[in-house]
Amino acid sequence: MMRNLTYVQLLQASFATAFFLTLLFQTPLAHLIQLHSHNPTVSLSLPVCLLISILYYFYTRPFPVLMLDYACFKPDFDRKFSLEACLYLVRRTQRFSSKSEDFMMGICNKSGLGDETYLPSPIAFQTESGVKLESAIEESKEGIFSVIDSLLSKTQTDPRRIDIVIVTSGIFAPVPSLTSLVVNHYSLRPDVKTFNLSGMGCSSGVISIDMAAKLLKSSRRIGYALVVVTENISSNWYFGHDRPMLVTNCIFRVGCAAAMITNDSSCRAVAKMELVNSLRTHHGADDSAYTAAFQLEDEAGNPGVALKKDLVRVAGVGLREHIRSLAPRVLPLSELSKPNVPDFTKAFDHICIHTGGKAVIEQVSRVLLLGDEVTEPARMCLHRFGNTSGSLVFYELSYFEAKKRLKRGDKMWMLAFGTGFKVCSLVWKSLSDSCKEIENPWNDCIHRYPLKKW
């Protein structure tokens, strides 16, 4: 048991022992050495109290939160659409005016998205105007089952070993829930705890991991949490003429990810990463932040999500407030003493920046004073996969792995924004060097990135 304790932990236990003895004998710490030499009771008590302190520390210390592995969904080749092909699909519906078509094409051309992003089958191959519920559910099933199958295979996990299931989808919330869909398909145990999250926007992936971590930390039992992050594009395609609502058609694309989280310290040798810090800040008390990304109906009754022009400013303000709370947790003292924006690259080896759009990435870069080499993964991820909503940070993580940039001991910051308005952070420590993986979604194209011009 004691071999599992580090030198620092033993030192902490020793200090606790000394403090305990000081209280026990009501004797200044400086006199304990003399007591140890001349008083047999104290001589016997010291090793006993040290053992008690070590045992107390061992049994009360929090379990580590480990990510065993993760998986990202990569749709079939026939779902890949260029910007020109997307415009053809828009015109084929015959539900948009020429002004709306021109507006969407203009947004697409300056969005930072490339010609290889993916659309769901109901949008790509639709024969009717609008999308039926059955088609939307099939879209969700395809992504969710694909990533879970891949993840279970990677981690060699028996589905009945799963204790917690968290599924998040920003807008799509069918009945029964998506968590029930997972429980039914994989025949999970009757006592499995399920959590179905919605309305979190692009921060849902980070929030779900944070939630899984807190649930595992609050338990003294070893547990496994399956986190699934998805979004449904087809059910939220907007068919009106309101420009802030048309923007979502231009930047959101198919994406889904799953991660296996555990508090089993014996899995450290095979786990990819350890969660060392997390922070969520909510800025919804401010009206402009609350309405920056908002689901509503236009004047004709068409539902959609409006991305207001104020969104980029709101993201910048929220990020500044967020890093004021995050900085003392992660930065060295030399950076905290700076009067201006501290250098977060002093705390992190890699940063997964929210890939919500070109303007958002540029705003984060301005606020944090980051160079192009730091924002490269976010920009390339947006170009290749588009805004995949809550799963975007996992596609960005897979970029780092495909480039073999992660080394054992490296610190990574995952940063995401969400509706409401939320700013969320995860801080990971890599437990191994990255290596080539067969199912990495970047495998067939990583040699073309980073682009010389974006």
pLDDT digits (tens, 9 = 90+) for 100-110: 999 999 999 99
> Which residue, 1, 53, 61, 58, is CA-closest to 24?
53
What pLDDT does 132 receive?
84
Task: Give, as one character, the DSSP assignment of residue 340.
Answer: S
Encoded amino acid at 378, one letter: A
CA–CA separation, 63 vs 61, rounded Å?
7
CA–CA separation, 240 vs 303, rounded Å?
8
What pLDDT does 137 receive?
94
Sheet with 164-169, edge to edge strand ranges: 193-197, 164-169, 224-230, 256-262, 65-72, 273-282, 422-430, 411-418, 350-352
Q: Cα dihedral sign for 363, 366, 368, 371?
A: positive
Q: φ and ψ at 387, to 5 degrees?
A: -85, 105
pLDDT at 454 over 50: yes
The helix/strand/coil state of 286 is coil
CA–CA separation, 316 vs 318, rounded Å?
5
Listed range (126-135, 263-272, 331-340) with the worst mean pLDDT: 126-135
Could you report the per-residue pLDDT of 367-397, keeping only the tens digit for each?
999 999 999 999 999 999 999 999 999 999 9
Given 3.40.50.970, 3.40.47.10, 3.40.50.300, 3.40.50.800, which CATH number is that of 275-448?
3.40.47.10
Could you report the per-residue pLDDT of 178-214, keeping only the tens digit for each?
999 999 999 999 999 999 999 999 999 999 999 999 9
What pLDDT does 3 receive?
39
Place of tokens 């067969």: 438
pLDDT at 5 over 70: no
Tokens representing 162? 């799963």
Could you report the per-residue pLDDT of 297-325, keeping only the tens digit for each?
999 999 999 999 999 999 999 999 999 99
DSSP letters for 350-409: EEE---S-HHHHHHHHHHHT--HHHHHHHHHHHHHH-B-GGGHHHHHHHHHHHTT---TT
Peptide bond just before 421 cis, omega within 30 deg? yes
Class of domain 65-267: alpha beta
What pLDDT does 123 receive?
84
**pLDDT over 90, % of the chain:** 74
pLDDT at 153 over 90: yes
Mean confidence (pLDDT) of the chain: 88
Classify burial at 94, counting beta carbons within 10 Å of its beta carbon; exposed 0-12, middle 13-18, buried 19 or more.
Answer: exposed
The helix/strand/coil state of 283 is coil
Confidence of residue 4 (pLDDT cuts 50, 70, 90): very low
Segment 219-228 mean pLDDT: 93
Contacts of 57 (CB under 8 A, 6+ apart): 5, 9, 12, 13, 16
For the annotated catalytic residues, the residue numbers are 202, 282, 350, 354, 383, 387
Residue 168: CA atoms inside 13 Å, Cβ hemisphere, count?
28
Segment 392-418 mean pLDDT: 97
Confidence of residue 418 (pLDDT cuts 50, 70, 90): very high
